[in-house]
Chain A
């Protein structure tokens, strides 16, 4: 004879054990899948990052492992960053040949526009890409390379060409095109790219310094 309380307890225990078994099987499945897929996924992510970097900095410019050269930069007004961002230092035959900066245009039409900006050793832009934005679809989103080639007009520009006072959209008397109806977005991008060039000019000396010993390890030294 079992009392009702005992029966209820037994039932609760049985239910709990069943739930536990399902949780165990679920966890095992997840662990197994994660284990199996993680190396491939990490490799894929690195390849994607490398492909993105090569879009803003031509591969011919450097012979070091760009991903391994990643450095963290504290938040900086010129970069528009409120959190630490990353930069990648390109070297050819051991000498500084360019940098890829993460920058933010904080004054887009709807919030931050995240940018990746490649600059060569002379301070000339080698490429710009928008990596994240919330601009209006069909209106301000032409800054995205997937939507239009607008962003390509920065390539080859520097602080001397055009002059700083012409680093504006055409509507404000500057050298950069912008589509009618959406000038806030390109204005923000132009401003952010110019500030990034200012940042580069200010920090160039630090970039040129050869990397400390522990960082040279992944770099293949071609000419010693």
Chain B
């Protein structure tokens, strides 16, 4: 089984060290497209995490039967089948959830992070570790999506959680936070350029922080400020 340390290591890797959105820069297409508000971002993040956990578990389970030469086509096949099965099953059996996440499920096929994790991790590790790794990577992506979504929504519309009624029903309309009242909006943040600018700023902040930590580690005494 898995020790606590391994577990923590996988999560540290997924959330921070190898964060897909900020460090590996994988799966940027859906990340940029769907991060125009917090609710969309959260929905895509969770849907991706779910698909990744399922595909990594499946790939890891069959890893000993797949010859190296054909591993990529087999993994693509497994992921495509899983995404389609999840898509159809959600549509049929949890329709309200499908109405919210449905449009994001096909988008996940454009996300190379799913295949990247299958090939780089699940193909070499135990299913349990692979599933935990996939969940950690998925949550890391979700985190970046939410932060980027919040920045864009706040700058673009002055609100947070707009569209929450699409997830939790009409009653949730009042949960939308109007952070900046009478805000006239900054359209650029919601349009595609806002995604590039926002992600660029986030990556810069992450790199700056990393450099700062490294510098502090090199200096014997902690540097003030």
Contact = CB atoms under 8 A, between A and B. Distances in A.
Interface string B60-94: 00100111011001100110110011001101110
B157 interface: yes
A30 B92 contact: no
Interface in B46-72: 62, 65-67, 69-70
A110 B65 CA distance: 51
Interface residues of A, number: 22
A41 B85 contact: no
B88 A22 contact: no
A19 B81 contact: no
A115 B13 CA distance: 48
B95 interface: yes
A26 B92 contact: no
B74 A33 contact: no
Contacts of B73: 19
B190 interface: yes
A29 interface: yes
A22 B92 contact: no
Contact of A15 (B67, B77, B156): B67
Interface residues of B, number: 28
Contacts of A36: 92
B185 interface: yes
B81 A14 contact: no
Given A34-B88, A137-B36, A14 B77 contact: no
A23 B81 CA distance: 10
Contacts of A29: 81, 85
B25 interface: no
A26 B67 contact: no
Contacts of B190: 137-138
Contacts of A33: 84-85, 88-89
Given A22-B78, A29-B81, A137-B190, A44 B70 contact: no
A40 interface: yes
Contact of B187 (A22, A23, A139): A139
Nearest to B73: A19
Contacts of B157: 138
A41 B88 contact: yes
Interface string A134-174: 00111100000010000000000000000000000000000
A30 B91 contact: no
Given A19-B73, A137-B36, A26 B78 contact: yes
A14 B91 contact: no
Contacts of B88: 33-34, 37, 41
Contact of A26 (B36, B81, B91, B93): B81
Contacts of A40: 91-93
A84 interface: no
B36 A41 contact: no
Contacts of B62: 22
B84 A30 contact: yes
Nearest to B185: A138
A41 B81 contact: no
Interface in A105-149: 136-139, 146
Interface in B150-174: 156-157, 166
Interface in B176-207: 185, 187, 190-191
Contacts of A139: 187
Contact of B65 (A18, A38, A146): A18
Nearest to A22: B74
A52 to B, nearest CB: 13
Given A44-B91, A138-B185, A30 B81 contact: yes
5 contacts: A29-B85, A37-B88, A37-B92, A41-B91, A139-B187
- 4 tightest Cβ-Cβ pairs between the two chains A and B: A37-B92, A40-B92, A26-B81, A37-B88
Given A22-B66, A40-B92, 7 more contacts: A19-B74, A33-B85, A33-B89, A37-B91, A37-B92, A41-B91, A44-B92
